[in-house]
Structure 1
Amino acid sequence: MNPLYYEEIVRRALSEDIGFQDLTTEAIISETQWSVAEITAKAEGILAGMDIAKRAFTLLDEQVSFQAKVQDGESVSPGQVVAVIKGRTRALLSGERVALNFLQRLSGIATGTYKAMECVKAFDCHLIDTRKTTPGLRGLEKYAVKMGGGYNHRFGLFDAILIKDNHIAAAGGITEAVRLVHEKVGHMVKVEVETESLAQVEEALRTPIDIIMLDNMSTELMKQAVQRIDKKVLTEASGGITLDSLVQVAATGVDLISLGWLTHSAQALDLSLNIVEGRV
C-alpha cells in the first residue's frame, strides 16, 4: 500500500491515543532506555497491516527497527512471532496500542475473507467487499480484504455507478434511471443496477448496463435470474448472505458475491506485544 495514503491515518491515531504525552511511560521509562519487543500471534489467521504497524513506531522514533517475520497475506499460528521491534522503550510502549489496533483489525478482516474464500473456492466466482467500512479506514480495510484473497467493489460513490432501489424509486424506474446516468456519465464508468425481482431483471437487461445486482433474492430465484441473464452482463449476489449460505449462493452461477460483513463485522485477530529484552 502507498505510504502516502496511510501516513496521515496513523498520525491521527497516535495523536488521539498519546495526546500531549504518554503519562505512564514517561514517568517510568528514561529517554535513553532501549528494548526489544515481539509481536506474537495468539490465534490462527491471515496477517495484514504490517507496514502500518511499523509506521506507528517509526513515527515516534525513526531509529526504531521493525523486522517483519511474516508478510501480509501469509498465515500465522498461535505462538508464532510475527515481528521483532528494537528501539527506544518509550517509542515501543507509546506506539504499542495503535500498532496492534491496526494490525489486529486488518488481520481480522483478512482472516474472515480467507475463510469465506475457502467456502467458494470450487466455484467460478469472486467475493467482494462493500462500502460498509469504518469511517476513515476504508482504504485500509479494503486492502485487508485483498490480503485475504477477496476483491474490491467500488471504493466510493465517485468511481462507479450503482443504481439502487431508492434511485430507481426516485427516477420512476430502472429504464429512466439508466437513461439519466448515460446522459451525464462518461463511457469509462461501469454501470450496475440493483434488482429484486425477475421483472426488474428483465427491465435491466433492456438497458445499456454492465452488471446486475440480485439483491435479497432466494437462491432459487437467483438461479432463475442468472439463467435469464445468460452471461449478457456480470451478475452480483448481495444481501443477507452468510458463511453458511455462501456455497448455495455460489452454486447459482453468479459471478460476484458481495459481503458487507467482511469489514463491518470482522473479529479482530488476537495478537500481543511483549518486551523480551531491555537495557538502560
Structure 2
Amino acid sequence: MTSPAMPPLPDLILEPLIRMALAEDLGSYGDITTRTVIPADITYRAAIRARQPGIASGMQLAAIAFRLVDPDLSITTLCADGTPFQAGEVLMQIEGPAASILSAERVALNFAGRLCGIATMTASFVARTTGTNTRITCTRKTTPGLRLVEKQAVLHGGGFNHRFSLSDAILIKDNHIAAAGGVRPVLQAVKARASHMIRCEIEVDTLDQLAEVLSETGADVVLLDNMDTPTLQQAVKMAQGQVVLEASGNMRLDRIAEVAATGVDYISSGALTHSATTLDLGLDF
C-alpha cells in the first residue's frame, strides 16, 4: 500500500531551513572562489543529473536554494518529488548567472541527495509489502532540524509518517510503563487526564503485556516491539482488530515481507531516516 499523493509544503515553511544552510555555506564573506574567478556577466545552463536510479525528493528545496541566492534564475524541475528516475536522467535545469548557480550548488545538492536517499530507501521497504494492507512508517529518529523534510521524503517514497513530535500523540514506551508502575496504571492515567482529541499508543514486548492492554481501554494503537515473526502472528490473532498494531524493532529490509504477511497494520523503521544513504546527484554545466 502506498501513501496518498501529497501536495508540496508551502515554500514559506521551508525557507528558514534553507536560509540557515546557505548562511552556513556562504559564511561571513560569501563565495570567494566564484567572486574571484567568474565574471558577473557570465551565464550558463546547468543541470542536476542523477548518477544512480532512485525516487525524487528535495527538488522543491533545491529550487528554493537557487531562488534565494538569485531570484532571477530560471529553474525547471523535470522530475517532481515522488517520481522515480534512472541513472543519467536530468532532474532539474537552472539557467542564469554562473556565479549564482555555483553559490547555491552545494546546498541544493545536499538537500536533494539526502532526501532522494530517504525516499529511495522507503520505496524499497514499501515494495516488500505488495499484496498486503501493511503500511511502512518512519520514526522520530531523524537528523536534528531536518525532521520535517525527512518525513516528507518518506511520503515521497510511498511511506507514511509517525508522529512528528512529543506533542502529537501519546506514545507510552517501556520506560513510561516502568516508571508509572505497569500497563494498567498508565492506561488509567490516560483515561483520566488525556484530551479526547489525542490518540494513544502503548509499547509491549510480550504477549502477556498485549493481553493486559487488550483487557483495558485507553489504547488506540499497540506497538509490538522486537517480536519475532511467529510472535507477531500470535499478536494479530489475539488483537482481532480491537486495536491498530504496529511492528517495530529490528525491521530490516529482508524481514519486511514476512512481517507484513502477519497482518500487522504498520511496520515502523528508524532506518528510513537514520541509515538512508545519500543518493549521488551532480550538477553539470
- The normalised TM-score by structure 1 is 0.96
Which segments of 5 or more consecutive residues in structure 2 lack a partner in the other structure?
1-8
Given candidates 238, 247, 251, the residue that maps to 1:237 is 247
Q: Distance in 1 between matches of 2:144 and 2:191?
A: 30
**Cα deviation code 1:170-190 (max 9, x no counterpart):** 000011112222322210111
Q: 5 Å matches for 1:251-262?
A: 251-262=261-272
Given candidates 150, 168, 177, the residue that maps to 2:177 is 168
Q: Distance in 2 between matches of 1:108 and 1:12?
A: 22
More displaced stretch, 99-108 vs 201-210? 201-210
Q: Which residue of 1 aligns with 2:146?
A: 137
**Cα deviation code 1:58-90 (max 9, x no counterpart):** 101100111011111111111111111011111
* RMSD of aligned residue pairs (Cα, Å): 0.8
Amino acid of the structure 1 residue aligned with 2:17: I
Aligned length: 275
Q: How far did 1:31 drift?
A: 2.1
Which segments of 5 or more consecutive residues in structure 1 lack a partner in the other structure?
276-280
Q: How far did 1:120 drift?
A: 0.9
Q: Distance in 1 between matches of 2:253 and 2:152?
A: 21
Q: Distance in 1 between matches of 2:119 and 2:79?
A: 14
Q: Which residue of 2 aligns with 1:278?
A: none
Q: Distance in 1 between matches of 2:12 and 2:250?
A: 36
Q: How far did 1:144 drift?
A: 0.4
1:148 equivalent to 2:157? Answer yes
Q: Distance in 2 between matches of 1:138 and 1:179?
A: 32
Q: Which residue of 1 aligns with 2:190?
A: 181
1:269 equivalent to 2:269? Answer no
Q: Distance in 2 between matches of 1:3 and 1:165?
A: 39
Q: How far did 1:200 drift?
A: 0.4
Q: How far did 1:30 drift?
A: 2.0
1:248 equivalent to 2:254? Answer no
Q: How far did 1:122 drift?
A: 1.4
1:223 equivalent to 2:236? Answer no
Q: How far did 1:128 drift?
A: 0.4
Q: How far did 1:5 drift?
A: 1.6
Q: Which residue of 1 aligns with 2:35?
A: 26
**Identity within the alignment, %:** 46
Residue aligned with 1:245, SS: helix
Q: Which residue of 2 aligns with 1:6?
A: 14
Amino acid of the structure 2 residue aligned with 1:112: M
**Cα deviation code 1:206-238 (max 9, x no counterpart):** 222100110001111111111001100100000
**Cα deviation code 1:35-62 (max 9, x no counterpart):** 1101111101000111100011110110
- The normalised TM-score by structure 2 is 0.95
Q: How far did 1:32 drift?
A: 2.2
